Amino acid sequence: MPPRFITLEGIDGAGKSSHLDFIRQWLAERGIETVFTREPGGTDLAEKLRALLLAPDTDVSLETETLLLFAARQDHIQRVIRPALAAGRWVVSDRFTDASFAYQGGGRGLAGERIAVLADWVQQGLEPDLTLLFDVPTDVAQERMAATRSLDRFEREARDFHERVREAYLARAAQYPRFCVLDSSRALEAVRADIAARLSGLLMEQR
């Protein structure tokens, strides 16, 4: 049974984190050994880069920001994702390369071709088997964020930025069949039912 690589994506405040425990429990109940990880982050070095990248007082150009994200991703793939898959474990990553296309590409305007060069370089053919895209209207996401936490460097961006990030995610979802777009403005239970259906599908494919 080949292990699967699943990624979770969505604009800030889309509710991705609320579903992580459900996914964890679902896979555990079926005896699937899974490594849960996140980007930027997932290794000691990448978590240090994450802290720099998210700190509101970090002054960094778009090019440098992108290279730091991909440096973190290289370390994460090399030390965590590939070894886990090689050992037969599933991997669930809270964000992956689609976030760079959505945030640095869509949100900040970096050309997609430049991001693709870095993606090819670090991924070397590694692609998620399934990407769950938690989608909500930008206004709903902004309300949720404002209500729950202090905001990081990306979350502080204007509404237009998040709108462009959302559009970029949806454009990628339309392009790649590995995406499953979940209307995350619904009740948690409804979203969970869709997640369970999609995970079941992934499991069936393997049998």
If the CB atoms of residues 155 and 163 are measured against ligand TYD, the closer one turns out to be: 155
69 is a contact residue toward ligand TYD (CB under 6 A):
yes
Who's near 63: CB < 8 A, 6+ residues apart?
A: 110
- Per CB under 6 A, the segment of 76-84, 91-99, 122-130, 189-197 that binds ligand TYD is 91-99
Rule CB under 6 A: say whether 6 interacts with ligand TYD. no
Measured from the CB atom, the residue of 152 and 167 that comes closer to ligand TYD is 152
142 binds ligand TYD (CB under 6 A): no
Which residue has tokens 């070397």? 124
From the list 55-63, 131-139, 148-156, 169-177, the region that binds ligand TYD by CB under 6 A is: 148-156
Q: 113: exposed, middle or buried (C-beta count within 10 Å: 0-12, 13-18, 19+)?
A: exposed
Q: Is residue 103 near ligand TYD by the rule CB under 6 A?
A: yes
Complex with ligand TYD: residue 34 or 104, whichever CB lies closer: 104
Contacts (CB under 6 A) with ligand TYD, residues 16-45: 17, 39-40
CB of 200 to ligand TYD, least distance (A): 26
Residues 39 and 122: their CA atoms lie apart, in Å, by 14
The four Cα atoms 56, 42, 140, 112 give a dihedral, to 10 degrees, of: 80
Among 5, 12, 81, 184, binds ligand TYD (CB under 6 A): 12
d(CA 51, CA 140): 26
Peptide bond preceding 40: is omega within 30 degrees of 0, i.e. cis? Answer: yes
In the complex, least distance from residue 21 CB atom to ligand TYD, rounded to whole angstroms: 13
For residue 169, count CB atoms less than 10 angstroms from its CB and return exposed for 0-12, middle for 13-18, buried for 19 or more.
buried
Q: Which stretch binds ligand TYD (CB under 6 A): 84-92, 94-102, 120-128, 176-184?
A: 94-102
Q: How many CB atoms lie within 10 A of CB 110?
A: 18
Alpha helix ranges (H) inside 30-137: 44-54, 62-76, 82-86, 97-99, 112-123
The residues of the shown chain that bind ligand TYD, judged by CB under 6 A, are 12, 17, 39-40, 69, 94-95, 99-100, 103-104, 152, 154-155
